[in-house]
Structure 1
């Protein structure tokens, strides 16, 4: 080999520098899969690859979103310095200037209109530490009652339903590892195969072990194809369907009378109301045959163990709480909870959908899942925060209702963190116009989202690769997300941003934190004795045990793997059963001559929420470049729609234009549009602003629409 060739190979070898490995956690769904980013520098070019890391929940698995998550975190469009809107142009400014502007504007607005003129809109994608601080910031630094978060649009019904029935809301009542050993599983409105792919092996193992799986969904999905029985009900008829299943269970004496007598309240009233219902009428209402309803009930009732999992399909409705509680009635009636391989799972959507709702972002909550209206709870949190209890605001309103307050001028300023409400809220056109009325809007985010484009000031936040903190996953397991990647530009962690704004507002002594761990230490104290008790959890313990399931009141106690073995969380120790009629308290959209079809919405595997992050990943954007409408071929032909052509979809509240996707796997009276796109493809423009009376969940899953071909 010549000297020249040797030099070539030495130079090539030297060009590959020592690789760097960064531990992290997927920023997307609630599985919160552990991962590592491997970075190699070849000459002057950095090459990245993400691999899974073993952990108790997803066991090292990653889905397509996790594998490509780094592409958005390292994207050239990241906001890397504060931007101020001057004459409709965003101009870079210093952090000092940005903070002074916030101080001036917030102070001026509150002096003129009072404390409650300011509002805070949070997120279920931020860490526990940041969710906790955001709630404290609103109530202590701003002294406003107006705070809520985008998780209201995701987990509101499941959380309220579990709290009302069980007295406690933790994602899963059992460990995820019990799923393979259960005998019958009902998946109500959840497409886990595409929304939480890394959980699927648990269900696949259950099926291998002989479990019978029932999926409830108006569409045929990867999940329903996997099931043994698919109940293709009409959108919005889940309460009726659950009532029909319970009726068959009662009439065939497949209920656990001893469990009902000793562990529940209200069954007699439920039984009486169910007895008055007609199964044939239920079949007509739901579009599910009497035989299918009976088959579901008989299989679930006769098996020794069973689990029910609910998700957005039945929850994102104006009777979502009623739907969740109706399925929990089935679980309680058969005694399948608080026992091995038997229980309930709310399949959380966002990455920290569980933890974000436990520590104070919701309008009516204080840390530890305490109530802001409970005097004892108020006194305790006030003592932890070092403030007078009388200074703590009372309950505000839900996420969507805050935009109604903006519309009438009651709210004039808003601070939004890690959320894109213009796209994610119902009646999206109204929300956009309301936000335009704000006197001052501050947005902290990674990118120039549709909401950020309307801001007066944008603050650059750090990504999941850079921002350390804890997240609480789908099963209620608190996990520490390690993050050590170099911060991009002048971006700052969300918890730092909150503390720095509090400082310029003169509230520094309440926000003295220098690390995420310091914030977590205060969470431990603030949550102590609450329903979501984290007191026994520390960063050291999380690292040693690779996560801890709450409640965990003491460092000496192990994780609580199974809830409700001896009693429920209500004061009397019993679960509360209530029957609901087929008619929602809030009127649902129904087909009419003008709007003859039902529209339902959902996800595709390659995208997440409003798509602001996933569309920045080329590998993900290439899989689904635009929104579409799933429609049955016979329905399409009836309305003169051809395959793969543009169609106008219109409701009472707005219109969008999307491309047709023919499929005979959807009901003929129903169409489906995913919700990850914006502007004229934003399906939430079509959704009404009506809300569930219990949890204030909008009715995303049922809208009445008209369709017509786009000719130009």
Structure 2
């Protein structure tokens, strides 16, 4: 086959774009070339206001990674990955996909996407899975990010948008509750918007954010739901709730309030370890200021009870009369760069573009019409992310997997089990720009463009649609994900025109597919974005250009009756309790220098120097009981497996809790010991709590 047309733009001297990491999507300006090196400076964009974190400042270094993937690779008979032509790689993939499908059926093929993919890539990936592969088996690593908050938000408000208000609104708050969120390390530029607020931080650790708090509530891991119920109890009993707002804008308050009545502060203290006096103080701080926000993060969401826990914090915000008003609100601090847009346009197992439910006949008919197929040709819902990974290679599970923009060998819970499932596949294909731990185990590796080499759009945590712009041309043998999907689809017998390769063409189709959906982008265009318009979805197409909706709940919520719903939820403990053999709770999280599985940040010298290896943070007394010393090596073990980590003594840690970051590979993977128990509604694994023990690493010296 001939080489694909050159659809990437010519190099330009300067490009206004956005940071490739978290969902703040800080505005940046890139300059330079591949030969001279790329430099970055912050733009005066609302979320970062001329600031960047350490990761943002060093992001261009990944563009010049020494082990950048620049040629397609196919595993040879002797087990090595060898360079081949694109035609050979794509022919190999297509032939093996067809062979698997012919033998085992379409659901023997699966796709695993990523929350860092552009909207265009996420959209075309979902279309490719459902039409070219004809499989229902597609999900993405965003399921591991904020699926619990999305599920709870949809139930409460009728719509899921990380922040249903601009980040800049936080500057008006007197008090902000951060539940399971550590933005001082994970989103440093956000902290400038919290400078004047009194912070109430709910976290089992005394994080960098907790150190800046007016009040730090430090519960036993896995008890955040009890704490949220206790806060609602205080709000109701002490008369802090907004009865007029509850009557006018909500429903189902009474069952939720009755449930909270069983969680008086002293009972909450017994369950969580948080003093009753601190609980009462927190509730009054939220209620008595001129403005307040309740924000949740992964710490309360990554549990088998994550949806109910988020719902309980939403209940608190609703009871105080905050969401949809100028006094405050509720929001979720979305993690991944396009975690919001990535789940809106078809990567999730149960959704179609525009945030449409896959089981809704009207949604299926609309999207099928845009795609030029019959509604019955669209597969039904498939497995959620961990369920999909856990089924790989089994008799009833997928035998072939395509991975775009994800590294599940490091990021999935019970990682050793997932690694075995990946190894059992008949075919593993990974599209990436560096040899991630997952790519190294693949049968075929496809080198794709990086963020500074491509055009597209992303949607940040506020629901603001952003333009990614290219500064550089990619290396000669590197193709865009859109081109890869197009080429594979054609080889699988699909019409070439069904899979555009120009991002602007894909976005035009995405606009049509999203029209009328919850996440309606139909009124947004590249022309409007390039002209500098700031547009938040929903932004429907109209006779006059729609201004976008930065505050969608200002007048009514997205349920048909316009009212928000309280949730009747109750506390239950984690899936795994501590005991004699595994006496400690372990929790995991991010650190300032690294991001997600670390595949990018571990390739930046300055970031790796800052945190070069995995560590376990433990109270000195707990360490002494386990025979550990500062800077020694420890095994952190659960019934599933063990990781190796350097010991850090931290006197602010709870005596019953240890912490490890999850950014490291091999024996340093925190997810070797994490629990894969799933939230029954969101499919979120229980990353944030499991039972472990600490032991000195045999033969290790400090």
TM-score w.r.t. structure 2 length?
0.96
Counterpart CA distance in 2 for 1:273 and 1:405 is 37
Partner of 2:211: 225
Counterpart CA distance in 1 for 2:605 and 2:147 is 32
SS in 1 for 2:458: strand
Does 1:164 pair with 2:155? Answer: yes
TM-superposed CA distance for 1:652, in Å, is 0.7
Contact kept in structure 1, 2:294 and 2:330, CA below 8 Å: yes
Partner of 1:32: 25
Q: Map residues 90-489 of structure 1 onto 2, 5 A cutoff.
A: 90-204=81-195, 207=196, 211-409=197-395, 410-489=397-476
Contact kept in structure 2, 1:595 and 1:706, CA below 8 Å: yes
| Larger displacement relative to structure 2 (167-176 or 356-365) | 167-176
Counterpart CA distance in 1 for 2:578 and 2:373 is 53
TM-superposed CA distance for 1:20, in Å, is 3.7
Gaps of at least 5 residues in structure 2 are 1-10
Partner of 1:524: 511
Runs of 4+ aligned residues of structure 1 deviating over 6 Å after TM superposition are: none
Partner of 2:5: none
Deviations along 1:489-534, one digit per CA (max 9) or x if unpaired, are 3111111111111111111345341410110001111001000000
Contact kept in structure 2, 1:363 and 1:398, CA below 8 Å: yes
Aligned CA distance change for structure 1 residues 220 and 232 (closer, same or farther; 3 Å): same
Contact kept in structure 1, 2:486 and 2:501, CA below 8 Å: no
Contact kept in structure 2, 1:499 and 1:508, CA below 8 Å: no
Does 1:61 pair with 2:51? Answer: yes
TM-score w.r.t. structure 1 length?
0.94
- Bigger radius of gyration: 1
Aligned CA distance change for structure 1 residues 690 and 250 (closer, same or farther; 3 Å): same
SS in 2 for 1:329: helix
TM-superposed CA distance for 1:427, in Å, is 0.6
Partner of 1:52: 42
Aligned CA distance change for structure 1 residues 376 and 609 (closer, same or farther; 3 Å): same
Partner of 1:70: 60
Counterpart CA distance in 2 for 1:370 and 1:20 is 40
Counterpart CA distance in 1 for 2:554 and 2:643 is 49
Partner of 1:688: 675
Deviations along 1:600-638, one digit per CA (max 9) or x if unpaired, are 001111111111111111121111100100001111111
| Larger displacement relative to structure 2 (407-416 or 314-323) | 407-416
Partner of 1:6: none
From 78, 81, 88, the counterpart of 2:79: 88
Number of residue pairs the alignment of both structures matches = 685
Counterpart CA distance in 1 for 2:527 and 2:285 is 45
Deviations along 1:660-704, one digit per CA (max 9) or x if unpaired, are 000112111100000000110000010122100110100000010
Does 1:628 pair with 2:615? Answer: yes
TM-superposed CA distance for 1:47, in Å, is 4.0
Aligned CA distance change for structure 1 residues 319 and 674 (closer, same or farther; 3 Å): same
Deviations along 1:35-79, one digit per CA (max 9) or x if unpaired, are 2233279xxx72442211222322232111111111111112111
CA RMSD of aligned residues (A): 1.5
Partner of 2:8: none
Does 1:490 pair with 2:477? Answer: yes
Contact kept in structure 1, 2:482 and 2:501, CA below 8 Å: no
Counterpart CA distance in 2 for 1:124 and 1:510 is 26
Partner of 2:553: 564
Deviations along 1:448-481, one digit per CA (max 9) or x if unpaired, are 1111111110000110110111000111100001
Deviations along 1:117-145, one digit per CA (max 9) or x if unpaired, are 10000000010000000000000111100
Contact kept in structure 2, 1:174 and 1:342, CA below 8 Å: no
Contact kept in structure 2, 1:479 and 1:546, CA below 8 Å: no
